[in-house]
Structure formats: C-alpha cells, structure tokens
C-alpha cells in the first residue's frame, strides 16, 4: 500500500527566506504525487502535482516541488516565504496501478515569522 512520510511537525521560517517542506513516499509502482495546503477552518487547496516528465514541477502561489525517484522524495519549496504562507501542508501519493486512493502524510504546519 502506498504511504507518505512528512518527518517534521512544524517548519518555522523567517519571511523572505526560502521555505522547504519535506516529503518522502512509498509505492509499489510509479507514483502520482500531490501537494495540498489547508488554511485554518478551510478545505484543502491543490498546489501542484507530479505525474510524469520534468522532475521540477511549478504550482500555485510561487510554490514548486522536485521529484527525486532515487530518494523517493517530493519536497515542496518556495524561494521567498510570505507570512500568508503560514498554513498546514499535506503531501499525498497514489499508486499508478491502484484505484484512486490517495494516501496523505500527517501534514506539516508552516509558520512564517514576520
């Protein structure tokens, strides 16, 4: 079964500094990988996904993520964090051969300090 690990509970970063949220995955075949963001008392908003092709994926709000097959990682990055980026970030994976079951990581709380 597919699974995702987000090793850190909280990521603190100063405004204007680079932001990285880590994600590693486990699947039996080729992965489909997703990042979502959840603001307080809101639903999940889609940020970006990797299906195939270029390992560097660009998404909404200036976020990008790099797929690394050898390290089974899909870290989310933003060159310059904003206070408004403070939220809960989820990495998710599904198996190419499976049904549409998405496995989510536990989420990372990002706090951007002004």
Partner 1 sequence: DTAVSQTPKYLVTQMGNDKSIKCEQNLGHDTMYWYKQDSKKFLKIMFSYNNKELIINETVPNRFSPKSPDKAHLNLHINSLELGDSAVYFCASSQVEGGETQYFGPGTRLLVL
Is 15:83 a contact under the CB 8 Å cutoff? yes
Which lies closer to partner 1 via its Cβ, residue 52 or residue 70?
A: 52
Q: How far is the CB of 36 from partner 1 (least distance, A)?
A: 8
# of chain residues touching partner 1 (CB under 8 A): 26
Token pair of 57, please? 């994926």
Region from 18-26, 38-46, 68-76, 78-86 binding partner 1, contact rule CB under 8 A = 38-46
- Distance, in Å, from the CA atom of 45 to the CA atom of 56, rounded to the nearest integer, reads 20
- Distance, in Å, from the CA atom of 24 to the CA atom of 2, rounded to the nearest integer, reads 11
Asked if 42 touches partner 1 (CB under 8 A), the answer is: yes
Closest by CA to 51, choosing from 95, 91, 21, is 95
Give the residues lining the site for partner 1 (CB under 8 A). Answer: 32, 34, 36, 38, 41-46, 49, 51-52, 88, 90, 94-96, 98-102, 104, 106-107
């Amino acid at each position: 079964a597919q699974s995702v690990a987000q090793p850190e509970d909280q990521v603190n970063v100063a405004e204007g500094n680079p932001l990285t949220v880590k994600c590693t995955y486990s699947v039996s075949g080729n992965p489909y990988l997703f990042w979502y963001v959840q603001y307080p008392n809101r639903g999940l908003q889609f940020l970006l996904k990797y299906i195939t092709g270029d390992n560097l994926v660009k998404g909404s709000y200036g976020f990008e993520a790099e797929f690394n097959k050898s390290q089974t990682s899909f870290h989310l990055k933003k060159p310059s964090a904003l206070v408004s980026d403070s939220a809960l970030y989820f990495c998710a994976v599904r198996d190419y051969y499976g049904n549409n079951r998405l496995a989510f990581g536990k989420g990372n709380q990002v706090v951007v300090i002004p």
